[in-house]
Structure 1
Amino acid sequence: MDISISPSRIPSPRPEWVVRFARVGLIAKGIVYCLVGALAFMAAFELGGQTAEEAGKTGVFQFILEQPYGKVLLAIVTVGMLCYTLWRFIQAFGDTEDKGTDAKGIGKRISYAFSGAVYGALAFTAAQLLLGNGGGGSGSDSRQTLARELLSQPFGQWLLGAVAIGTMVMGIYQFYRAYSGKYMSKVQSQQLKPELRTSLVRAGLVGYIARGFVWLIIGYLLLRAALNSNFREAGSSSQAFQFVESSSYGSFLLGILALGLICYGVFMFVRAKCEVINTK
């Protein structure tokens, strides 16, 4: 009796390198957010001479570079962010999450690509610093450059306004992910030790809420730049921290936000360990 198996029915090997890229990328993202939160907390309470302007993601790269073996550490983080970038592009263009080609699926895949592009730009900035071609800074240039380019186009204020609203919608979506529990949808929490599970799940909840607030503030700054037709009013996370710090009870609020971002970073480590990574 012929029991041979047709080659077409033999399952293809699982591309484990995609899984490794995803996990390394999530670890790098967690490191960056933990450091952003730590520096923002220090800035809130004037510890170690840190300022809110230095607490953005690109400010973190400068901080890493200034540590012992800083170049080695920054190189590792840069490689990790490149891994994250590639994973997001694989999700977007390979549709490994099986989102499909309807409007909702395309929208989700675009969000994966956008995330990949953002972290690709951050990896490029880190690489520039590593090679001595960058000056660190507050990290506001990228969004101010985007605002300047959009404002120079026909209907530029409307275009920038649309980007601002889209950014704020992304912030609101972070709240939705937090309160709906969707942030846990692919995390196999049973892999965690029972005594840690509740705390780490709560860290994710707090982290996504904090990240939502940051996106909302960045969106507001972009909207203000659009309404005033002034690209200099746009800004990234470091400007968002300065905005919070300048408000009533600013140091207290920035400190809470910073702790939330640390929680988000910690939850990225949980995702790196426990998330189901689809490779299709």
Structure 2
Amino acid sequence: MPRLSSNPVEVLARLGYGARGVVYGLVGCLALLAAIGSGGQTGGSRSALQTLLSQPLGQIWLVLIALGLFGFCIWRVVEALTDADHRGSDMKGWGVRIAHLISGAIYAGLGVSALRLALGRGSGGGEDQAAQDWTAWLMSKPFGLWLVGLIGLAVAATGLGFAWKAWRGDAAARLSLPADKRQWVISLGRMGFAARGVVFVIIGGFLILAALHGSSSEVHGLGGALQTLQQQPYGWVLLALTAIGLFAFGLFGLVQARYRHIDAPDIDDAKAAVAQIER
């Protein structure tokens, strides 16, 4: 559980990391069941959330997850605009902060989907369709194909960055961990970043192919990436390993909710920083 804090931004951030962890845990668990032939599915985040509807108190869980994801969106925006994580204002720092803004928008959309599911106003499908719709819209703009291709390269590069972090990076760099928990948390983080690296590279590849072929129908999200793995030779093994990694990242998210160092600004400080940027 998140640590209690008097700073509302920190509370939102911790709830957000926990909610994101739950989503990844669900996706990983269902994909693993699909890999070993015990049910499950590879439909991505929205389809995974839909499975909660049939569980006891499913609607309440969906509302709580939605609120957590909205909190994560707010934290990402505050983090990016105020540099709460001290990324810096050089090219690399702004790159990370812009990526976090985009991440916030994506999780806000997922939060809306979870809330609509809880209220009986939506379905769990449509993840690929949503990706294809925005890609088609972007392709219709001047230099749209180039922009889609560049986004694909950026997503794939992010995936390679996750893979590098899994191999050589310190997954616990921003965690304030007790010494006896550090090693297994680092192992969880590395497994999780490796799995995210795989799916991000595949999703980036979809976008690049869409740009090359001028077809938005080639774009797929997380579910499409998992299905692609499943369709390869020994696909069930590839899917199972990736699913275990995604489940591990879900657990890592819960650890982040408890132990991540969050230097959240006060609400007034955050407003002042945003106003300064607007000027």
Do residues 168 (structure 1) and 156 (structure 2) align?
yes
Q: Which runs of structure 2 are paired with 1:217-232 in the superposition (5 Å)? A: 217-232=202-217
- Specify the alignment match of 2:98 in structure 1: 110
Deviation of 1:170 after TM superposition, in Å, equals 0.7
Do residues 71 (structure 1) and 59 (structure 2) align?
yes
- Specify the alignment match of 2:120 in structure 1: 132
Do residues 233 (structure 1) and 218 (structure 2) align?
yes
Structure 1 105/198 Cα, relative in aligned 2: closer, same or farther at 3 Å?
closer
Which has the higher mean CA deviation after the structures are superposed, 93-102 or 201-210? 93-102
Deviation of 1:261 after TM superposition, in Å, equals 0.5
* Contact 1:15–1:279 (CA under 8 A) maintained in structure 2: no
Aligned CA RMSD, in angstroms, stands at 1.6
Do residues 279 (structure 1) and 264 (structure 2) align?
yes
Do residues 157 (structure 1) and 142 (structure 2) align?
no
Identical positions, percent? 34
Query: Scaled by the length of structure 1, what TM-score is found?
Result: 0.88
- Specify the alignment match of 2:271 in structure 1: none
Larger radius of gyration: 1
Deviations 1:17-48, CA, capped at 9 Å, x for gaps: 12111111111111111110001111112213
Distance 2:126 2:230 in 1: 15
Question: Which blocks of at least 5 consecutive residues in structure 1 are unaligned?
Answer: 1-13
Deviations 1:226-270, CA, capped at 9 Å, x for gaps: 111111110000000111111110111101100010111111111
Could you tell me which of 160, 165, 176 is aligned with 1:177?
165
Deviation of 1:182 after TM superposition, in Å, equals 3.5
Query: Scaled by the length of structure 2, what TM-score is found?
Result: 0.89
Do residues 51 (structure 1) and 41 (structure 2) align?
yes
Which has the higher mean CA deviation after the structures are superposed, 68-77 or 91-100? 91-100
* Contact 1:35–1:60 (CA under 8 A) maintained in structure 2: yes
* Contact 1:218–1:235 (CA under 8 A) maintained in structure 2: yes
Deviation of 1:178 after TM superposition, in Å, equals 2.2
Do residues 16 (structure 1) and 7 (structure 2) align?
yes
Deviation of 1:131 after TM superposition, in Å, equals 2.1
Question: Which blocks of at least 5 consecutive residues in structure 2 are unaligned?
Answer: 266-279
Deviation of 1:168 after TM superposition, in Å, equals 0.2
Aligned length: 261
